[in-house]
Structure 1
Amino acid sequence: MNNKLKFLSILLLCFLLTTRLHAQGETFIADINYQYLEKLIATAKKNYPEVKLRQAQVNLAKSNLTQAKVLWLDAFTASYIYSPRSSLNLIQPTIFNGYQLAISVNIGQLLSKPFVVRSARETMRIAQYQQQEYDLSITANVKRLYYQYLSAQADLRLRSGAVIDGETAVKQLKYSFQKGEVTFQVYNEALTSLYLQAGYKVQAELATVTAKTNLEEVLGVRLEDVK
């Protein structure tokens, strides 16, 4: 029986070491493609509705500034008077005959125009700052979601490798159990460990799908469509 226990210990030790090697070897850092990441960021800025909203606000603010500058002319009002040369106006006699041009100035509007233009310019700057802020925010968000997706993929590879190792160990223990070299308890513990690893793999699959969905939500397109 001691030899059987030694055999079992060696087998389980090999299983644990193999799992640890998978854990140490899996990393998502090497999977980072910075050129592809820049494409993801550009895609998100192109498709995400909030980005389009920020750009529309900037365009509107620019239009309002242009309008405010043109409205300087509202303070001036031009009109003309026509006095026929052959007529004689005894009620309001005029010195000049023919067409007469008159220009009036609204002092209140004239004095208020600099403040209107300044307000429109500041509104445009605020819209531009908000757009720049959101550009930084969506860039950071795409990076975070991309890293989460790569991390989930690496964890899934780890869990898949652990399941394969567990299946190999169970097959060996099943063969040993059928030959009477190990007890049913030992074989059952290996099966339980395999079931746990399979459950972890399912969780890793869910995490990977969720991370991919979150990233695609920001991109506005499927991840496979970003070339």
Structure 2
Amino acid sequence: MKKLSILILFTLSTLALHAQESFINEVNYPYLDKLIATAKRNYPEVKVRIAQINAAKAALTQSKVAWLDAITASYIYSPKNSLNLTNPTFFNGYQIGFSVNLGTLLAKPFATRSAKEAVNIAQYQQQQYYLTIEATVKRLYFTYLEAQADLRNRARAVTDGEIAVKQLKYTFQKGETTFHDYNEALTSLYNQNSFKVQSELSILTAKANLEEFLGVKLEEVK
């Protein structure tokens, strides 16, 4: 009877390895929003997108005032007491003249329109990347929570395995359990500890991946 109860405990410990703990209730959506906002504020690629928008806006402003390039101003100074027999003039003093390059002037509206579209493209690209950032942060956050849940699962399996080994060792020493059963329990406990170490590594990896997008330590996001 005692051996049966130990085997049942050992079986439950093994099943705990396969029973994935749900982490749905641990999802903190306000905290997730803070993570997304932090990534949008700190991730270098986001700053690149903002710089591209600013550059496109500067080019648009430059295009709007560039129509002056089509107009050329000049002046001529004719002293009042001078006599120019080669190019006689009827006016004395300063004379101002303007010339217009029609080709350049007619091209300016198209250049301005192109600059406006460049601003729109830069803004659309930023909006698209914001969506990418949100999806990536959500995925990495969920992966991090999953790793935490898996570690708790593994830790319980190790605890149950230690209890089973302890009881099997006691019954083995009394001759109530075979060495084969005791050895299998030890092997299972060794495997459970290995799985636990792998889960710990998964948590560290998931945390590092998330912090790469945040630009700060996860603990700094309050």
- The interval holding the TM-score normalised by the smaller chain is over 0.9
Q: Select 2:212's aligned residue among 217, 224, 227.
A: 217
Residue 168 of structure 2 is matched in structure 1 by 173
5 Å-filtered alignment, 1:149-168, equals 149-168=144-163
5 Å-filtered alignment, 1:17-96, equals 17=12, 20=15, 26-96=21-91
- Aligned partners of 1:165 and 1:129: how far apart in 2? 54
Q: Select 2:181's aligned residue among 177, 186, 195.
A: 186
Q: Which runs of 5+ in 1 are unaligned?
A: 1-5
- Aligned partners of 2:177 and 2:165: how far apart in 1? 12
Worse-matched range after superposition: 157-166 or 18-27:
18-27
Residue 112 of structure 1 is matched in structure 2 by 107
The one-letter code sitting in structure 1 at the alignment partner of 2:196 is: K
Q: Taking structure 2 as the reference length, what is the TM-score of the superposition?
A: 0.94
Return the offset for 1:132.
0.8
Deviations 1:30-70 (A, max 9, x none): 11111111111111111111111111011000000100111
Return the offset for 1:116.
1.0
Return the offset for 1:147.
0.3
Mark the CA change 1:22 to 1:35 in structure 2 (over 3 Å): closer, same or farther. Answer: farther
Return the offset for 1:84.
1.7
Return the offset for 1:15.
3.6
Q: Select 1:16's aligned residue among 11, 16, 24.
A: 11
Identity %: 65
The alignment partner of 2:177 has SS state of coil
The one-letter code sitting in structure 1 at the alignment partner of 2:199 is: A
The alignment partner of 2:73 has SS state of strand
Answer yes or no: is 1:199 the counterpart of 2:202.
Answer: no
- What number of residue pairs does the alignment pair up? 222
Return the offset for 1:95.
1.5
Answer yes or no: is 1:141 the counterpart of 2:141.
Answer: no
Q: Taking structure 1 as the reference length, what is the TM-score of the superposition?
A: 0.92
- Aligned partners of 2:191 and 2:16: how far apart in 1? 18
- Are the counterparts in 2 of residues 65 and 120 from structure 1 also a CA contact under 8 Å? yes
Residue 123 of structure 1 is matched in structure 2 by 118
The one-letter code sitting in structure 2 at the alignment partner of 1:154 is: A
Return the offset for 1:25.
7.6
- Aligned partners of 1:146 and 1:24: how far apart in 2? 21
- Are the counterparts in 2 of residues 19 and 161 from structure 1 also a CA contact under 8 Å? no
- Are the counterparts in 2 of residues 48 and 220 from structure 1 also a CA contact under 8 Å? yes
Return the offset for 1:14.
2.8
Deviations 1:105-154 (A, max 9, x none): 01111011111111111111111111111111011100000000000000
**C-alpha RMSD of matched pairs (Å):** 1.6
Mark the CA change 1:25 to 1:204 in structure 2 (over 3 Å): closer, same or farther. Answer: closer
Residue 3 of structure 1 is matched in structure 2 by none
Return the offset for 1:10.
2.6
